[in-house]
Structure 1
Amino acid sequence: MSILELKNVCYSYEKGKVVLADVNAELEKGKLYAVLGPSGSGKTTLLALLGGLDTPTQGSVLFDGENIRTKGLEYHRRHHISLIFQSYNLIDYMTPMENAQLTAKLDAGPVLERLGLARDEITRNVLKLSGGQQQRVAIARALSSDAPVILADEPTGNLDADTAEEITAVLKESAHALGKCVVVVTHSGQVANQADVILEIKRGQLKEREIK
């Protein structure tokens, strides 16, 4: 049974440009989804709609069969969704540990360490970390949450190949071992190759691509 569903979703800008046209999809717990498509195709828009950061022009987004607008988009974001942003969205006067603990129910330390941060880096101000390290903190914050859905926008974009592979493995483990629904917008073939389901946006349509 799906935990997130897009039902006849359309999205267009005020000037009339259609980004998504009558999109339908069902997303299940326990699976890693990769969303592919050229730049400007609507991948980040799709993620924003699933996360309750924006609303469709037409159609609806459902969580456990209920329209996310029924209880409110803020409720959906707070209780159902954990987001990994391209821009990190870290609180700059906090340490990695403090940032990760904002959403954590358990100790975020082991997650930060698994993602490659040393003990002394965990207690350092995030502004003193490199961009790649900050990205790992943003990912750790999402993984430390008990939200059933993880939405990630290019989570491996600024990371070296080895770290990207480890991040992808952790996201896959979150789906398979922890039963989360993990949706990743990516240009990375490495991430797509690890996905259970590949979704591709072309000309406003969302189609499932066969995994070879």
Structure 2
Amino acid sequence: MSILELQEITYTYDNKQYVLRGINAKMEAGKMYAILGPSGCGKTTLLSLLGGLDSPSNGRVLFDGTDIEQTGLDEHRRKHVSFVFQTYNLIDYMTPQENVRLIARKPPLPYLERLGLTKDEAKRNVLKLSGGQQQRVAIARALASEAPVILADEPTGNLDADTAQDIAEILKESAHEEGKCVVIVTHSNELAEQADAVFSLKYGKLQTII
């Protein structure tokens, strides 16, 4: 059974400009999904709808068979999903450890070290870290969350090729070994190749590639 489902999702600006047109898709726990598409095609919008950050103009987003509007978008965001934002969305006056601890009961250091941060870096203010390090903190925060779904917006965008490959493997492990549903939007074909299923978003339509 799917953990996330999109049913006839349409999204428009000002009821005129169509961004998404009648999208249907199902996503299961224990799998990693990639959504490919050019800039401005609506990938981030689609991720926002899956995460309850926005509502579709028409159609429904289901979590475990229940419309997230019925559950409550706040409830959906708090309990069901964790995000890796392209802009990190870290609390800038806190350390990496404190940022992870905000949303996770588990000790934060093992997750941060797994993402390549040292103990010293984990204790620094996040503004003293590089963009790539901040991206790793954002990923560690999502991995440490108990939410069953991880939604990641260009999670390897600020990372070198070797680190990006490591992150892809870690996200895939979260799906295959921890049973999470991982959904990534990306420009990277290399990252998409790691996914169990790949969608292409073009002209507002979502198509399955793999």
Shorter-chain TM-score above 0.5: yes
Partner SS state of residue 93, structure 1: coil
Deviation for aligned residue 1:15: 5.8
TM-score for the superposition, normalised by structure 2: 0.99
Instruction: Name the aligned partner's letter for residue 158 of structure 1.
Output: N
Instruction: Name the aligned partner's letter for residue 84 of structure 2.
Output: I
Partner SS state of residue 2, structure 1: coil
Instruction: Name the aligned partner's letter for residue 18 of structure 2.
Output: V
Deviation for aligned residue 1:162: 1.1
Aligned twin of 1:93: 93
Q: Deviations along 1:28-48, whole A, 9 cap, x unmatched?
A: 000000000111111000000
Aligned twin of 1:133: 133
Q: Residues of 1 paired with 2:184 and 2:47: CA distance?
A: 9
Deviation for aligned residue 1:105: 2.1
Aligned twin of 2:33: 33
Q: Residues of 2 paired with 1:130 and 1:43: CA distance?
A: 26
Instruction: Name the aligned partner's letter for residue 93 of structure 1.
Output: Y
Using the TM superposition, name which of 167-176 and 10-19 deviates more. Answer: 10-19
Q: Residues of 1 paired with 2:168 and 2:141: CA distance?
A: 15
Q: Give matches, 1:43-58, under 5 Å.
A: 43-58=43-58
Q: Deviations along 1:77-134, whole A, 9 cap, x unmatched?
A: 0000000000000001100000011111211111100100011000011010001000
Q: Give matches, 1:11-30, under 5 Å.
A: 11-14=11-14, 16-30=16-30
Following TM superposition, where does structure 1 have runs of at least 4 consecutive aligned residues deviating by more than 4 angstroms? none
Deviation for aligned residue 1:145: 0.1
Q: Residues of 2 paired with 1:94 and 1:192: CA distance?
A: 32
Q: Residues of 1 paired with 2:100 and 2:150: CA distance?
A: 14
Partner SS state of residue 82, structure 1: strand
Q: Residues of 2 paired with 1:43 and 1:167: CA distance?
A: 20
Q: Residues of 1 paired with 2:168 and 2:123: CA distance?
A: 25
Aligned twin of 1:192: 192
Instruction: Name the aligned partner's letter for residue 10 of structure 2.
Output: C
Does residue 156 (structure 1) correspond to residue 156 (structure 2)? The answer is: yes
Deviation for aligned residue 1:203: 1.0
Q: Residues of 2 paired with 1:105 and 1:120: CA distance?
A: 21
Aligned twin of 1:73: 73
Does residue 4 (structure 1) correspond to residue 4 (structure 2)? The answer is: yes
TM-score for the superposition, normalised by structure 1: 0.98
Aligned twin of 1:106: 106
Give the count of matched residue pairs. 210
Partner SS state of residue 179, structure 2: coil
Q: Which runs of 5+ in 2 are unaligned?
A: none
Q: Residues of 2 paired with 1:202 and 1:125: CA distance?
A: 40
Q: Which runs of 5+ in 1 are unaligned?
A: none
Q: Residues of 2 paired with 1:71 and 1:207: CA distance?
A: 28
Instruction: Name the aligned partner's letter for residue 28 of structure 1.
Output: E
Instruction: Name the aligned partner's letter for residue 163 of structure 2.
Output: T
Q: RMSD between aligned alpha carbons?
A: 0.7
Identity over the aligned pairs, expressed in percent?
64
Deviation for aligned residue 1:190: 1.3
Partner SS state of residue 199, structure 1: strand
Partner SS state of residue 194, structure 1: coil
Q: Residues of 1 paired with 2:96 and 2:119: CA distance?
A: 10
Aligned twin of 1:119: 119
